[in-house]
Every structure is written in structure tokens, then in C-alpha cells.
Amino acid sequence: MCVRGNSGTQAQAALGKVATHIRVVRDDGKVLLDEPKRLAVEVGKPLSSEAIAASIKTLYQTGDYAYISAVAEPDGDGVSLIFKVKENLFINQVIINGLKPPPSDSSAIAAMQLSLGQTYRQSDIPEALNRLKDTLREEGLYQAKVKAEERANQATHQLDVIVQVDPGPRVLVEKVQLINGSEYRDADLLKLFRLKPGKELTAARLQSGTTRIRKFFEKKGHLSARVSLRRGDYNESTNTLPLNLEVTEGPRVLVAVTGAKFSKGNLRKLVPVYQEGSVDTDLLEEGKRNLRERLERDGYFDAKVEYEVNSKQMTSGRREWKGEVETITYKVDRGSRHKLLRIDFEGNRYFSTDLLRSRLTITPSALFVRPRFSRALLDADVLSMKNLYAANGFLSARVDGQVLDDYEKKTGDLVIRFVIDEGKQTLVSALAIEGDHSVSDDEIRGVVASLPGQPYSDINVATDRDNILALYFNEGFPNATFTWRVEPDTEHDVAEKTKGAEARKENDEPLETSKSYRIDRAEPMKLVYKIDEGAQIRVKTLLYAGYVHTRQRVIRREVKVKPGGPLREGDVVESQQKLYNLGIFNRVTIEPQNANGTDPEKDVVVLVEEAKRYTIAYGGGFEVQRLASTTDPTGGQIKAAPRGIFEISKENITGRADSLSLKIRGSTIQGRALLAYSAPNTFNNEKLSFQATAYIEKSQDINTFTQTRYEGNVQLTDRLSPRESLLFRYAFRKVTVSNLNIPSEEVPLFNQPTLVSQFSTTWFRDTRNNPADATTGSFNTADVGIADTAIGSSASFLRVYLQNSTYHPIGRNWSFARSLRIGILQPYRDTVSLTFPGQTTIPTPRIIPLPERFYAGGGTSLRGFALNQAGPRDSVTGFPVGGQALLIFNQELRFPMKLPFVGSSLGGALFYDGGNSFSQLSRVTFRWSPPAPIYRPAYPGFKPGPFNPAQCLYNCTNELNYFSHVVGFGLRYSTPVGPLRIDLGYELNRPEFVIPCKIRVAFCQQGTQLPKLQVFFNLGSSF
């Protein structure tokens, strides 16, 4: 009391005197703030106890200081006031060393609950270590020792916590004490539990052990079985832990349905006693509702479902289970089946019938489509329609969903009629915005729906609130609040105020356009939105942490949050996305330090966790290929071989988020080794990326020789927009043949050695909603390339390829897709077009290498041909040689189908493919068929036979320039990676072409045709 009185007396003496100077000083004497603002104490004013206390509290609330004392120092007639402070530290990285998973490092860090940017308190670390120890014990690490080292960085106020874990041995199971409250044998249950004495214990093992027993009981029908596990007392000397496993089986529950058939799987989905693992009235009632709903959907609209529960003791049978059996029997009276003929609307004037219909969940019967209807779906549609009207200002709209059964006295026919009473529309007459100082009025009005002349509704106001607050949050106002009030506007003329709505009506698709229709208006409303912005949080400094190999500027480049600017939520999310997109970080956290402090200037920490740099993958398999035949131009041979794959990649090799990977794939049929390098943000431009690839491929497309392909290419990708890119590429490839099993002159032209050195540019724009299975949008691409002998190519030619595909939804589930592909190859200078028949005299002309030519046919091209089988063929052998021009049209009508077992995942398609690969651009034609070959015996006048073979006399070139027409039907089964397709194509105009006779006779030729029908199994969309 004496000292307090003493110091109190001195303090009292200081109070009342004028403050001459006010400073905030760190414990080491550094002045942090001189004449700080927004404090209760002010220079030139007398000091008071209340003002000093208030100032300390204000300073503390900034979150910047851990401790504050106010010290007065005589200064002439007044006093100088010093707030002596100790600055806060904030949690930065938490690193765990020495842990033996489980738990993983990230689980252990999460268990510690030390968040990035959190204010550090001395008690935090011991508490966090205790939580970590609990987690380690959960995982069986009872002897784990943990200690934490705190590394503070006073300059950035960050504190790293490095936790050293000595996990010790994992605890072993001592014994499993089973309290078996079931009729099943102990040994059987313990076998399911799997954790035997002496085995290491982990949380996952305990969990899966109990789950297995629970599932066993579930399978046996004991839906309310209980399996509980308690850990006994840990024995430190033996490092063992006893386990107490308690099992009660409860009655065996059987669920039966009479009067209707439900598959076992469906019953498990519909009757929730299976999922909940218990039986009570609520669950049984829910099961009853679900079964009725399902029957209604199947057209049994009058279905009645009741249930009864019976219990009995099973005692008979020597080896059978004995105990209580509870049978739940759902008794179904399906009634007659109904057919939902159509859906009618009455009384809708504001919204068109088409618009209302498009929003329904119920659907009438249609071709390949089963009706979708139930009472619950009808109620949901009625509610959705009411909400639609309410959102458009029809606050008193009424919608009645009527079910007209036995329509027009036809038993089972059902018509749904929605009778709508729209009522009056309420509009907004005026909108006032108050309290918006930092965001302009226009900007706010840009995100608001309730503008003057627009419909008034609570739903719109709620949306406006969300949009306005999102706008503020994104401008760095996390504490912005929104309130609103509304009152009827009795002063304004309704007609005048509704001019805006009429104007909107003209532009708004859903509105009815009938001129005779006049909307009934209710009294308009005046709206006032009041915004309390709160303080804007700004970024003081950006701090980076957690990176080891990555260069800081790579991280900095992706971070959109800028020092000095507002802390925008959108920038934070975008920065995180961009950093994740680099593919080198497992986790990216961006948090302000001192998030809860009132100091509006925040240091923002970008903490990254680098992913592992090396990835190794390997695997084996079996491959089956249909190899083309060298002897039969229309035939092939199936060959199978074991296959091995090995991949190794190193990410972030130079710290620039670049990667290098080596992929090797090999089998006895073919092999491939590929080395690829890719680097994002080329030339420090986030839109540019660089890729380089080199590979060697050895393949055996034809079973008489081996083809080796060497290819290297470099590519620069310019991402013009999220949907549009430009690619610049240089490619060099060399293809050679080896291991010939036939004379080299018989190697088809298709596989002659080639050398291509080519520069090309590709532009593409993709607006498809789902590239794997698009229903709307478009895909356009243009590719222009040039290969020249001057740069090492074996031929000089220009290559142009264009594609335009569009996708159009029809109604809700149908869609139409079409595509046009055009390709042009133009030889120049020393290179000429391939002639038909080909020139065989030496010197042979320089032609465009066959692998570079355009081919057509296959599951994604012309579906009336096998892969690459359309277009010109070699006049001697009959093999396809590709063309210098390509024209392909594809049209496809896609529709849903509903069949038993597969549900709505199955769809169908009707398609038409037209076009071909043509020998030259000038030979592109739409003619139905090329002239048919005409044959005659080698020695006219003599009887045809082995010594007088048939020979082609006219039209023998196999140039086959014609426009093929293919129609077909396909099935689609949707999978997460695109549709699984089966397409059946039929070519309407098969031409005949010339091949050597199948019976080997010199100079003998015969005509042949490709098969009429082609079947394709593919994964992914056709185009």
C-alpha cells in the first residue's frame, strides 16, 4: 500500500498536467509511433487517469502489442507520456521433424491448432504440444516425446515453431477382451477384428476392426448392433495396451415388401434403417414415404404403403442362429399404373408457358424417356414457381398444382395442371443507399437487382445484401454490415414508376409479349439500404514463408495481394489458385497477421508447403492391338503382349515451377521413351508457357517390320484468355523402318522412311461447357504449318487445318452437335503431289511424306470406315495412302434414355457423317461414287483362269475421290471422364477399288469393297 501510495502519489502528480509529447516506444527504446492518432490522450491537453486507461486499451486492441505500460516523464511544466510496449509475435510456420506416420505431418500440425497469423501467447505452445501428444497416443505412440523450439523473427514479428518428435515404439496390443453379447462365436468376431496380441496399434486399424464387425452384423440383419471399443491402461514396461471390445447384436431385422418388387439395392436406399443402423418409428415412416415416392415416380400414383413390425424368437435349428427376429413388412397396394400425358398451365401471363415448363422437375412421357412424377416433385415444382413469382414482385401469387386423373375418362391417363393466380406486381419506386463512402454509388447499383422500376421482393433484397457485402469484403472491408428498410411509396404515380419494368419486359425473355396484356401493379416500395463500412484493412507488408527450393520471385509473381493496397478477398483466392496451379505446392495459406486486431494495416503472410519434387510411377499390364496386315489391305491381325511402364519426374527443378519428366513404356510389340520439359511463365509473362519434348518410339503397326520414330519439338503457348490460346511450335521428326520381313519394295508407302522439319502455329478457342461431353458452346481451331527442304525436311509443303464444332441444347436433355473439319496440304517448289497411279520410275518425285497426309475414318471421324481407311489408296497394293485435302462433316443428335439397371446414365445418338480424304484440293467433290474399275482377262478371248488372270482396264487408279455418306446409331453411357460410346456406322455409298488377287497369281487384280458396317467402342466424345 505504501509503494502503491508512493508511486500513486507520483502518478497523481503527473495527472492533470498538460501532455507535451506522446510516444509509443518499444522495450528496446525504439520509437514506434510519435504522436499517435486516435487515442484519448492528446498533446496539449491535461492528462487524466481515464484517458490514459482508454488509450492503453485502444493500443492493445490494435493487436500489435503484448504488453503496455504508460509512463509519465516531467517535461518543463507538463509531462511527456510514453507508452512502453512489448510487441506481439504471430505464429508462422509449424514444422514437425522426426514423426513416423501415422499420423502424417499435416495431421499432427492440424492437431496442434496453431494457425498462421495467430497471436502468440506463451501458453499456446504447451497446450499445442499436449494436443499433439493426445493425437500421437491415439495412433499408438504412447512413449512419444515432443519438444518445441520457438524461433522468433523480431523484424517480421513472426514465430516459427519447430517440433521435434521422438515417436518411440508404437504400442502393441496386449490382449483383446471381448464381451460378446451376440450369438456369434468369439473366434469369428475376433477374426473380423484382426488386431491380435502383439500387433502394432493405430487408430485406423482400430477403426477398420470395429467397422468390419459392424458391417458383419449389418449383413446378418442386426441393424441396431453396437460395437464399442475401449482402451485399457497402458503398460509402460511392456509397451502394451489391452483392448476391451464390447459387442451387442440386438434383434435381427428383416425388411420385406409385399405387393411390389424392389431390388435389394433399392430397398437399402429407400428404407433408412439400413443407413442409420437402428429401427424407430421415424425411420420406418421415412421408409414408407420413400417407397411411396418411388412407386409414384414409376407411375403408381395411387400407391398405398403401410408397414407392420413383428418380433419372434428363433430357437429351432441346431446350427442356425438363435435369437430375436424383428420383421418389418411394408405392405404395398400399388393400384393401377398411370401415364403422365402432359402438363398444362393456366393463368400465367407474366411468364411464358415454355419458361415455366423448362423449370419443372416433373416430366411427361416421351420417346425413350420415362415420365418423372410424384407428389413430392409436384409440391417442389409448385413451391419453385411461387418463389419465381415472388422474386419478380408478385408477392401474393398463388399456384395450385392439380392432378387430373383418368383424363377424358381414359383410365390411368394423368394430366397435371398448374393453375396460377399471379396477383399484383410490386415494384421498387426508389432506392436510396446510405453510408457508402469508399465504394461509389454506381458501383453498388451495378450489383443490385432492386433498382427503381424493378420487381420488389425479399429474395431480391437478400441477394442485394449478399452482393453488396461481397463487394465490400472484396474491397478490404471485412466488418461491413448491411441493414435495410422498406416502406410503401404513396406519393408516386404507379404507372409512371412502372415504365422501367415495361422497358425491362421488352428485353426479358420470360415475359409474355402480348400487347393486350397489362400487369396489375400494387403500391410500389421505397427501399433504403444502409451500409456500415467499418475500417478498410490494408496490406502493410507481404511476408513469404515455407519455400525451400522455389525462388521467392516465382511466388511473388503469382500473388495478387499488393502492399499498400486493400486486402481483397478475391485477390487472396486468386493468388492461392495461381500458386496451386503451378503444381509445386501441397498447401498455400494466405492470412493476415493479427487478424482480430483493430490495426487496419496488416502484414500478410503467404505460407507455402512445397510438394515432393520427385515422382516415380511404374506399372505393368497387358496390351492387345489389332495390327494392320501388309498382305490384305482390308484385313488385320490381333496381337497381345505384356507391357511395362516407368515414369520419373522432377518438379520445380530450377525453382521456377518447371518440371522434367521421363516416361518409358514398353512391350514386345512397341516401346516409347519420352523426355519432356515444361516451364510456366516464360519470359516472366504469366500467359506464356514453354514445353519441349523429345521421344523415340518403336512400333509395329504392321507385323512384317518395325518402325522407329525420333521426334523433338519445342512449343510456346500463349494463353490469350481462359478459353483461347495460341501455340507456336517447331517439330522435327524422323521415321525409319527396320527388321524387314519382306522385300523393301513391298513395304507400303505408308511406312516409308520420312524426315519432317516443320514450323507451325495453332489457334484454338474452346467455349464448350464440358470438353469431355459438351452440350453447349463451340470449339474452333486453326492450324497453319510449313515444312521446307531448306530446313531439313524431306519435302516442302504448306499445311492448313481448320475445325469448327458447335453444340446446341434442345430442351433440357437433348442436344445437337455438329462439326466441320477442313484440311489442305499444298506442296511447293521441289515437291509435287502424289499421282495416281504413283510414279515408280527413277528418279522418283519428291512428295509429301505419307504420315503427314490427311486420313479419314474411325470413331471420331467418318464412322462408316475403320481407322484411317477412307480416301485414296495405293493403286498397286490397295493400302490407304491418305490425301492432300480433307473435308468432314459430322452431325449428331444426342438424347437421353432411361432403361432398367442403368437408370438415366444411358443416352442415345443418331448421327450422319459425310466427307472424305481427297487426293488434292482441286479434286474435292460431292459426287456419290467414283467410277467403278473395269476388268478384263489378260488374254481376251481365252477362258479366264490362273493362266489368264483378270486385269483392271479402266478406272484403276484407286484415287477414290467421292463424298461418302455414313449414317448410324450410338449408345452413350456417361462416366466421369466422358461418355463410353458404342457407335454403329453404315456407309451408304461404298466404292469399289482394285487390289491384287487374294489367290497369288502374277498380274491378277480384283475389285473389293470395305465392310458396310463398322462398330466402334470409344471413351470420350466423338467430336
Partner 1 sequence: MRRWLQTSLPALALLTASLAAHGQVIVDRMVARVETDIILLSDVRELARYQIFADGKAEPDEQILNRLIDQWIVRSEANVALFPQPKDEDVERSLARLKRTFSSPEEYEERKKLSGLSDDDILRLLRSQLYLSNYLDTRFRPSIQVDPKAVEEFYQTRVVPRAESRGQKPPTLDAAREFIQEALVQRAVNEEADKWLKESRSRVHVQSFLNETQP
Q: Which residues bind partner 1 (CB under 8 A)?
A: 1-4, 6-8, 10-11, 13-15, 27, 47, 49, 52-53, 56-57, 60, 66-74, 81-82, 84, 86, 121-123, 596
In angstroms, the Cα distances linking 793 to 755, 798, 833 are: 5, 12, 16
Beta carbons within 8 Å of 254's beta carbon, 6+ residues apart: 221, 325, 326, 327, 328
Single-letter residue type at 839: Q
DSSP letter string, 8-30: HHHHHHHTTSBEEEEEEEETTS-
User: What is the H or E stretch that residue 240 is in?
Assistant: strand 240-248
Report whether 736 contacts 753 (CB < 8 A): yes
Minimum distance from CB of 53 to partner 1 (Å)? Answer: 5
Q: How far is the CB of 465 from partner 1 (least distance, A)?
A: 22
Q: Nine-digit cell at 64? A: 500489435
Task: Compare residues 79 and 132 and give the one whose CB is closer to partner 1.
Answer: 79
Do the beta carbons of residue 917 and residue 952 sit within 8 Å? no
Nearer to partner 1, 2 or 367 (CB): 2
Backbone angles phi, psi at 57, to 5 degrees: -65, -40
Residue 766 near residue 806, CB atoms below 8 Å: no
Smallest distance from the beta carbon of 276 to partner 1, in angstroms? 34
| Dist. CA 873–CA 5, nearest whole Å | 112
Question: Which residues fall within 8 angstroms of residue 440, CB to CB, at 6 or more apart?
Answer: none
Nearer to partner 1, 122 or 316 (CB): 122
Based on CB atoms, which residue is closest to partner 1, 598 or 951?
598
Query: How far from the centroid of its chain's Cα atoms is residue 310's Cα?
Result: 48
Query: Closest approach of Cβ 45 to partner 1, in Å?
Result: 15
- Cβ at position 815, least distance to partner 1 in Å: 55
Q: How far apart are CA 228 and CA 225, in angstroms?
A: 10
Tell the smallest beta-carbon distance from residue 223 to partner 1 (Å): 39
As to burial, measured by CB atoms within 10 angstroms (0-12 exposed, 13-18 middle, 19+ buried), residue 367 is exposed
**Counting beta carbons within 10 angstroms of the beta carbon of residue 427, is it exposed (0 to 12), middle (13 to 18) or buried (19 or more)?**
buried
Judge contact between 22 and 39, C-beta under 8 A: yes
Sign of CA dihedral 183, 184, 185, 191: negative
Shortest distance, position 75 Cβ to partner 1, whole Å: 9
How does strand 601-610 pair with strand 538-545? parallel
Give min distance, CB of 683 to partner 1, in A: 48
CA–CA dist 384, 942 (Å, integer): 86
Cα 206 vs. chain centroid, distance in angstroms? 34
Q: How far is the CB of 117 from partner 1 (least distance, A)?
A: 14
Give the three cell numbers for residue 339: 401415364
d(CA 591, CA 157): 14
Q: Identify which of 24, 15, 27, 147 has the alpha carbon closest to the alpha carbon of residue 78.
A: 15
- Rounded-to-integer distance, Cα 609 and Cα 95, Å: 10
Residue ranges in 76-225 assigned as alpha helix (H): 105-112, 124-138, 186-193, 203-219
CB of 19 to partner 1, least distance (A): 11
* Residue with Cβ nearer partner 1 (122 or 507): 122
Cβ proximity to partner 1: between 52 and 415 the closer is 52
In this structure, what C-alpha cell is assigned to residue 829? 517448289
- Min CB(4)–partner 1 separation in Å: 7
Q: How far is the CB of 374 from partner 1 (least distance, A)?
A: 45
- Between 5 and 583, whose beta carbon lies closer to partner 1? 5
Answer whether the bond into residue 371 is a cis peptide, omega within 30°.
no
User: Cβ 90 to partner 1, closest distance in Å?
Assistant: 14
Radius of gyration of the chain (CA): 40
Nearer to partner 1, 81 or 341 (CB): 81
The 226-231 sheet, strands edge to edge: 172-181, 240-248, 226-231
Q: Cβ closer to partner 1: 29 or 976? A: 29
- Residue 387, classed as helix, strand or coil, is helix
DSSP SS3 for 465 = helix
Distance, CA of 639 to chain centre: 37
Q: How far is the CB of 462 from partner 1 (least distance, A)?
A: 24
In the complex, the smallest distance separating the C-beta of residue 770 from partner 1, rounded to whole angstroms, is 48
69 or 581: CB nearest partner 1 = 69
C-beta of 71 vs 720, nearer to partner 1:
71
- Would you give the end-to-end CA distance of the chain in angstroms? 90
CB of 202 to partner 1, least distance (A): 31
Distance separating alpha carbons of residues 427 and 700, to the nearest angstrom: 74
The answer to whether 889 and 964 have CB atoms below 8 angstroms apart is no
How does DSSP assign 651-682, residue by residue? Answer: ESTTSSS-EEEEEEEEESS-EEEEEEEEEESG
51 or 909, CB closer to partner 1? 51
Q: Between 54 and 430, whose beta carbon lies closer to partner 1?
A: 54
H or E segment and range at residue 358: helix 353-358
In the bound complex, what is the minimum distance in angstroms from residue 595's beta carbon to partner 1? Answer: 11
Toward partner 1, which CB reaches closer, 53 or 179?
53
Q: Which residues contact 999 (CB under 8 A, 6 or more apart)?
A: 946
Q: Indicate the residue among 228 and 596 with the shorter CB distance to partner 1.
A: 596
Closest separation in Å from C-beta 343 to partner 1 = 50
Between CA 609 and CA 611 the distance in angstroms is 6
Residue nearer to partner 1 on the CB measure, 89 or 360: 89
Nearer to partner 1, 60 or 763 (CB): 60
Give me the count of residues in the chain. Answer: 1023
Cβ proximity to partner 1: between 5 and 619 the closer is 5
